[in-house]
A and B are shown apart, each in its own frame.
Chain A
Amino acid sequence: MTNAESGSPDKEPATTDQAARTTLDNTERAEPTSQQPPERPALGQLFVANLWAANTFTVTLLSLVLAMIVGGILMIVSDPDVLATYSYITARPGDALNASWALVSEAYANLFKGAVLDPDAVGLTAALSPISETLTYTAPLVFTGLSVALAFRGGLFNIGAQGQATMGVIAAGLAGFLLPLPAGLHLLVAVFAGAVGGAVWGFIPGILKARTGAHEVINTIMLNYVAVYFLVWLIVQNGVQDPNRTNAISRPVDASAQLPRLFGDNLRAHAGIILAVLATWAVAWLLNRSTLGFELRAVGSNPAASRTAGISVTRTYVLIMVFAGALAGLGGSQMVLGTTAAALTPLVVAQIGFDGILVALLGRVKPWGVLLAALLFGALQAGGNRMQSYSGVSLELVTVLQALIVIFIAAPALVKAIFQLRAARAARPQTSLAKGW
């Protein structure tokens, strides 16, 4: 009963003891006002005190800061011109510091301008452009993040969001250019096909886990690659490959199956982000309000107890993976029905499945947390594009930043030690979800 004994901070509490702790934690996070000690310190004091405690928000923010510091160091050491100024740092330290500051601050300024707001932008379209880009990158990440988070809550680690998104993009793409349907219906069918494609790919590890006990981590990793090779094979088949092209690219999706744009034709933001918000709400409802969600969380905290209580663990495992697969498949479908690409290529899914794992962890495997985390990752991605074209800093830096943020998040004890944070009042156990193969 390995998953039961690790008092995971991110899973729903199983025991009353943990429940009490989480309640405390929640009230604290909500706002200090809800705490009613006999001698109440001033609200402002309490706020400042909590700000420097190791709570979720502070740790997330400081992780971001740490990651950006490491990213800045990487920029400096990889810039020969700036590095040259360090050879005489003892003689003229100002040079080195100025050059470093100029390099890093300019890059991060471009990151911000590309993701949130460019103060020099003229006109509404230009002003909205960064936000639109951010939302475009955010939408699919919300889905893959929710996929991973949902499975996590049920005690399963879905590393297969990448493969499920791949099957989703295949199904959605095929439905998008093979089916002659009227506008509106066509889009619905294509989106639904994406969900089904992902669900099928999630069903396989689910049923294997339920029937044979085969570990879902291993199987989902393997299925990721099977899906990619299937995609690569499929693209060059007759009827799928674009007849006018010789390289590996499929026919484009019909206009009737494309998600409508939100802010006019010049901006890329599409209706996918609305679907993403709806999906977040749906998953939150499923987890916290539905019978299935209750069973899912129960199985996630303690499968043996759940079985004793009459919950079918096998059925729940299969359902979890089907739902997780469908979510990832929806995310995948946006990669071809949205504005990112209109045709299948070997790299059409990009990294959204693996990024989804990071998003889920950053969002503390809670639906609305996932939405915010995806927004941050989408912003980094959008800003990274501008940073690359304006400052010449490779987009790969964004991958580094994302990975670093999650590393710091995953080890709050480290962040706490670096910044000398006070322990949050409802100190969480440091154990994470470790549970082995």
Chain B
Amino acid sequence: MSTMAVDDVAVAPVNEGFWTRARKAGLVLTALGLLAVLLFTTLAASEPARFTLSEDAGGAALKINGTVGAALFGVVALAAGVAILAGLPKRWFTLVLGVGLVGFVVSFLCWQVSTAPAGQNFMPLVNIARGTFILALPLIFGSLAGVLCERSGVINVAIEGQLLMGAFSGALFGSLSGNLWVGLVAAAIGGTLISLLLAVFAIRYLVDQVVMGIVLNLLAVGITGFLYERLMQPDPAKYNSAPHFSNWEIPLLSEIPVLGPALFAGNIFLYLGLLLVLVIHIGLFRTRWGLRTRSVGEHPTAADTLGVRVLRLRYRNVLLAGAVAGIGGASYTLALFSFTKNMIGGKGFIALAALIFGRWSPTGALLAALFFGFADQLATYLSAINSAIPSQFLAMLPYLATILAVAGLVGRVRAPAADGKPYIKG
């Protein structure tokens, strides 16, 4: 169902006069620019703000005076906003909007870094970049799982449960066998089990998919929590000490400043995640399977008429999605931590937000996941430098951004037409 002019909602006819969508976005950006120029600049200290290209204060750095930086980049945001307001050609819109938003963020950072306590007024870009990718990983896997499901017309609110089940079975079977790969496969199967329930109930028994997703999340929380307390807590050495994948450095590429250590010195999950984005993107838009998946998600009756087996394709995609999300869950328990109760803690819902914010496309989901990961990492950084900005407000950012996106402020967000509607042959 389209989230724009939904025909079952009495929306006033969209007045595409002067206030087009682009102009509204421009207005918001102009307001942000003004905020940056007026507020951030006044609050910023006239101290150097250093953005180091390393993990600590040392090494090469980009340096700028806090006040100057906040003002300069604020003006960039303001100018971009005004340009869009003035009626920019459509093809420039995305680029200028992007530049404006980056300007706003950098202006904000100049203010924050320059007012940090003495000795801490630097921002280690390597740390930030690496943290962004690490925090975005479960979101990437989760939102890809969402893409696979929803593109074929099955709403996946159970991402949280799939991640959690993956994390749990990865940890359990990883430690029982002592083998990483067994853990990885078990994680994929764990996620698939939740998916299987979703598929059977949504496709075979026509249960509402959102309802099913919510219930499955609770089921996953319950089962993993129950088994955690019965098995893992009493005997962590046997049940909850899975080996961890180590980081694999790719020679040469990992030498690239800032992005190298973040992108090419990660663990298997990082590479797998990025590879999956590429594979699913190509698969969805360049292969027969992708064409069929999309057609089943948009107009199953038409696809059926042309000989596509709608239900079988939906089953297959939903199960695949579970495997992807399950591996995403293992990116916690087979690389970073041991399993704890409810350890996904809402990441599945941020992944859902990333899916929607990324407009149901793999690359969009990746960008949204990285944006949310960055916001998360920034919150950590800001609380480390005792910023006046409460970290909780930054943590709200992904959710607020999604609400704005769905309300139509940031471009058009449209779900696959048949998303969530069971298909009944006949």
Q: Which A residues form the contact surface with B (CB < 8 A)?
A: 1-3, 74, 78-79, 157, 159, 208-215, 217-219, 221-226, 229-230, 232-233, 303-304, 307, 312-314, 317, 351, 354, 357-358, 361, 394, 396-404, 406-407, 410-411, 413-414, 430-437
Total A-B residue pairs with C-beta atoms closer than 8 Å? 203
Q: Given that A214-B3, A410-B212, A437-B420 are contacting pairs, would A396 and B9 also be in contact in the complex, using a CB cutoff of 8 Å? A: no
The 9 closest A-B pairs by CB, nearest first: A436-B420, A399-B222, A400-B222, A396-B225, A78-B230, A403-B219, A394-B229, A411-B205, A233-B392
Complex interface residues of chain B between 382 and 426 (CB less than 8 A to chain A): 390, 392-393, 395-396, 399-400, 402-403, 406-408, 415, 418-422, 424
Structural contact, B222 and A397, CB atoms closer than 8 A: yes
- Among the listed stretches B29-37, B98-106, B271-279, B349-357, which one makes contact with chain A, having 4 or more residues with CB under 8 Å of it? B349-357
Structural contact, A434 and B230, CB atoms closer than 8 A: no
User: Which of chain A's residues has its CB closest to B201's CB?
Assistant: A411
Structural contact, B415 and A436, CB atoms closer than 8 A: yes
- For the complex, what is the distance from the CA of A78 to the CA of B207, rounded to whole Å? 30
Distance (whole angstroms) from the CB of A318 to the closest CB of chain B: 11
**Which residues of the partner chain A approach B226 to less than 8 Å between Cβ atoms?**
74, 78, 394, 396-397, 399-400
Structural contact, B403 and A223, CB atoms closer than 8 A: yes
Structural contact, A314 and B399, CB atoms closer than 8 A: no
User: Which of chain B's residues has its CB closest to A218's CB?
Assistant: B406
B216 adjacent to chain A (CB < 8 Å): yes
User: Which of chain B's residues has its CB closest to A397's CB?
Assistant: B226
B343 adjacent to chain A (CB < 8 Å): no
- For the complex, what is the distance from the CA of A433 to the CA of B157, rounded to whole Å? 16
Distance (whole angstroms) from the CB of A307 to the closest CB of chain B: 6
User: Which of chain A's residues has its CB closest to B402's CB?
Assistant: A222
B209 adjacent to chain A (CB < 8 Å): yes
**Which residues of the partner chain B approach A401 to less than 8 Å between Cβ atoms?**
222
Structural contact, B7 and A1, CB atoms closer than 8 A: yes
Q: Give 13 pairs: A residue, B residue, CB < 8 Å, sorted on A.
A: A78-B231, A212-B408, A233-B392, A312-B10, A357-B214, A361-B215, A394-B230, A396-B225, A398-B222, A402-B218, A431-B206, A435-B1, A436-B421
Structural contact, B406 and A361, CB atoms closer than 8 A: no
Q: Given that A410-B201, A430-B205, A436-B420 are contacting pairs, would A233 and B10 also be in contact in the complex, using a CB cutoff of 8 Å? A: no
Structural contact, B222 and A396, CB atoms closer than 8 A: yes
Place the interface of chain B in its size category.
Answer: 35 or more
**Which residues of the partner chain A approach B208 to less than 8 Å between Cβ atoms?**
410, 432-435
Structural contact, B407 and A208, CB atoms closer than 8 A: yes
Complex interface residues of chain B between 299 and 342 (CB less than 8 A to chain A): 341
Q: Given that A221-B349, A414-B205, A430-B206 are contacting pairs, would A358 and B218 also be in contact in the complex, using a CB cutoff of 8 Å? A: yes
- For the complex, what is the distance from the CA of A410 to the CA of B206, rounded to whole Å? 9
Q: Given that A211-B11, A410-B208, A414-B205 are contacting pairs, would A400 and B400 also be in contact in the complex, using a CB cutoff of 8 Å? A: no
Structural contact, A437 and B205, CB atoms closer than 8 A: no
Q: Which B residues form the contact surface with A (CB < 8 A)?
A: 1-12, 155, 157, 197, 201-202, 205-212, 214-216, 218-219, 221-223, 225-231, 341, 346, 349, 352-353, 356, 390, 392-393, 395-396, 399-400, 402-403, 406-408, 415, 418-422, 424
Question: What secondary structure prevails in chain A residues at the interface with B?
Answer: helix
Distance (whole angstroms) from the CB of A70 to the closest CB of chain B: 10
**Which residues of the partner chain B approach A431 to less than 8 Å between Cβ atoms?**
206, 422, 424
- For the complex, what is the distance from the CA of A357 to the CA of B219, rounded to whole Å? 13
- For the complex, what is the distance from the CA of A182 to the CA of B202, rounded to whole Å? 53
Q: With a 10 A CB-CB cut-off, give which of A1, A224, A317, A436 has the most chain B CB atoms.
A: A436
Distance (whole angstroms) from the CB of B192 to the closest CB of chain A: 17
Q: Given that A78-B231, A221-B349, A358-B215 are contacting pairs, would A214 and B222 also be in contact in the complex, using a CB cutoff of 8 Å? A: no
**Which residues of the partner chain B approach A400 to less than 8 Å between Cβ atoms?**
219, 222-223, 226
Structural contact, A217 and B210, CB atoms closer than 8 A: yes
Structural contact, A396 and B229, CB atoms closer than 8 A: yes
Structural contact, A230 and B392, CB atoms closer than 8 A: yes
Structural contact, A229 and B215, CB atoms closer than 8 A: no
**Which residues of the partner chain B approach A398 to less than 8 Å between Cβ atoms?**
222
- For the complex, what is the distance from the CA of A432 to the CA of B400, rounded to whole Å? 31
- For the complex, what is the distance from the CA of A218 to the CA of B6, rounded to whole Å? 15
- For the complex, what is the distance from the CA of A3 to the CA of B9, rounded to whole Å? 12
**Which residues of the partner chain B approach A212 to less than 8 Å between Cβ atoms?**
3-4, 11, 406-408
Distance (whole angstroms) from the CB of B215 to the closest CB of chain A: 5
Structural contact, A354 and B222, CB atoms closer than 8 A: no
**Which residues of the partner chain A approach B393 to less than 8 Å between Cβ atoms?**
229, 233
User: Which of chain B's residues has its CB closest to A404's CB?
Assistant: B219
Distance (whole angstroms) from the CB of B93 to the closest CB of chain A: 20
User: Which of chain A's residues has its CB closest to B406's CB?
Assistant: A214
User: Which of chain A's residues has its CB closest to B227's CB?
Assistant: A78
Structural contact, B6 and A213, CB atoms closer than 8 A: yes
- For the complex, what is the distance from the CA of A413 to the CA of B400, rounded to whole Å? 39
User: Which of chain A's residues has its CB closest to B238's CB?
Assistant: A80
- For the complex, what is the distance from the CA of A400 to the CA of B400, rounded to whole Å? 31
Structural contact, A2 and B1, CB atoms closer than 8 A: yes
**Which residues of the partner chain B approach A209 to less than 8 Å between Cβ atoms?**
9
**Which residues of the partner chain B approach A435 to less than 8 Å between Cβ atoms?**
1, 208, 420-421
Q: Given that A211-B11, A214-B407, A432-B211 are contacting pairs, would A437 and B1 also be in contact in the complex, using a CB cutoff of 8 Å? A: yes
**Which residues of the partner chain B approach A430 to less than 8 Å between Cβ atoms?**
205-206
Structural contact, B210 and A157, CB atoms closer than 8 A: yes
Q: Given that A403-B218, A406-B215, A434-B422 are contacting pairs, would A225 and B11 also be in contact in the complex, using a CB cutoff of 8 Å? A: no
Q: Given that A2-B421, A314-B10, A407-B197 are contacting pairs, would A222 and B211 also be in contact in the complex, using a CB cutoff of 8 Å? A: no
Structural contact, A213 and B349, CB atoms closer than 8 A: no
- For the complex, what is the distance from the CA of A313 to the CA of B12, rounded to whole Å? 12
- For the complex, what is the distance from the CA of A303 to the CA of B11, rounded to whole Å? 12
Distance (whole angstroms) from the CB of B423 to the closest CB of chain A: 10
**Which residues of the partner chain B approach A215 to less than 8 Å between Cβ atoms?**
1, 3, 406
**Which residues of the partner chain A approach B7 to less than 8 Å between Cβ atoms?**
1, 304
**Which residues of the partner chain B approach A219 to less than 8 Å between Cβ atoms?**
403, 406-407
**Which residues of the partner chain A approach B403 to less than 8 Å between Cβ atoms?**
208, 214, 218-219, 222-223
- For the complex, what is the distance from the CA of A316 to the CA of B60, rounded to whole Å? 60
**Which residues of the partner chain A approach B420 to less than 8 Å between Cβ atoms?**
434-437
